[in-house]
């Protein structure tokens, strides 16, 4: 088990995901809707957590085994679900419990379309934008994007691809272009 490599990947993921707090922060600033503090706090927290995971393990670059790939995929979904819930939980409007915030985040990232929020018309623009942004990220296929981006960062993506792809497709090789891989995986782009 490559614990330091997995820690490094998780640190990169959270550091990159912290950047997703900036567009809603900009929307909050434009509309002055009061949700900006939640996104600014989430950005700083995620950036610090990501860097604190990445820095000690930044030099560990080992090839992941299939088992490690499964662990990374599980960690991706858990970490992104929890990280994505921060702005919902920290926001004063709407006031959400931790469970509701995680549900809303996972619903967006998995493009389920379910929500626990009521009165969507009265929510701050930044929160509404963020909900749609999470669904867009989920629709893009976070793991497919990770397969395309993480190798550029020195992380092997084949194990992640096999761990995430259902059925007999998992044994086939990645195609040279990410759009071809996504088509073969059944993801529309």
What is the structure's pLDDT at 186?
57
pLDDT at 46: 97
124 with 93: CB under 8 angstroms?
Answer: yes
* Residues 74 and 103 sit within 8 Å (Cβ to Cβ): no
Domain residues of the chain, as ranges?
3-185
Give burial (CB, 10 Å; 0-12/13-18/19+) of 16.
Answer: middle
Token duo for residue 60: 């560990």
Rounded Cα distance between 44 and 72, Å, is: 23
> Residue holding tokens 């599980």?
74
CB 64 within 8 A of CB 72: yes
Question: What averages of pLDDT result for each successive group of 10 residues across the chain (189 residues)?
Answer: 85 93 97 95 97 90 76 87 96 94 94 90 95 89 61 56 60 54 56
* pTM of the complete model: 0.74
The pLDDT value given to residue 63: 74
Q: How many CB atoms lie within 10 A of CB 189?
A: 12
pLDDT of residue 74: 85
As a whole number of angstroms, the distance between CA 99 and CA 138 comes to 19
Whole-number pLDDT of residue 56: 93
How far is it, in rounded angstroms, from Cα 106 to Cα 114? 9
To 5 degrees, how large is the angle CA 72–CA 75–CA 77?
115
In a 13 Å sphere around the CA of 28, the CA atoms on its Cβ side amount to 20
Which pLDDT belongs to residue 122? 92
> Cα(50)–Cα(80) distance, rounded to whole angstroms?
12
- pLDDT at residue 9, rounded to an integer: 87
pLDDT confidence of residue 148: 60
């Amino acid at each position: 088990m490559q614990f330091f490599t997995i820690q490094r990947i998780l640190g990169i993921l959270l550091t990159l995901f912290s950047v997703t707090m900036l567009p809603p922060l900009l929307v909050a600033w434009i509309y002055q809707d009061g949700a900006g503090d939640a996104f600014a706090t989430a950005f700083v927290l995620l950036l610090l957590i990501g860097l604190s995971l990445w820095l000690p393990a930044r030099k560990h670059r080992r090839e992941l085994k299939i088992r490690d790939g499964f662990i990374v995929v599980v960690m991706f979904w858990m970490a992104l679900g929890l990280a994505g819930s921060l702005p919902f939980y920290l926001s004063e409007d709407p006031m959400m419990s931790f469970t509701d915030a995680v549900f809303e985040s996972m619903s967006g990232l998995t493009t389920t379309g379910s929500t626990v929020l009521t009165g969507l018309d009265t929510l701050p623009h930044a929160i509404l934008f963020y909900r749609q942004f999470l669904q867009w990220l989920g629709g893009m296929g976070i793991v497919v994007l990770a397969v395309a981006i993480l190798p550029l960062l020195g992380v092997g993506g084949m194990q992640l691809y096999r761990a995430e792809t259902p059925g007999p497709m998992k044994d086939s090789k990645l195609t040279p272009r990410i759009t071809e891989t996504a088509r073969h995986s059944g993801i529309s782009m």
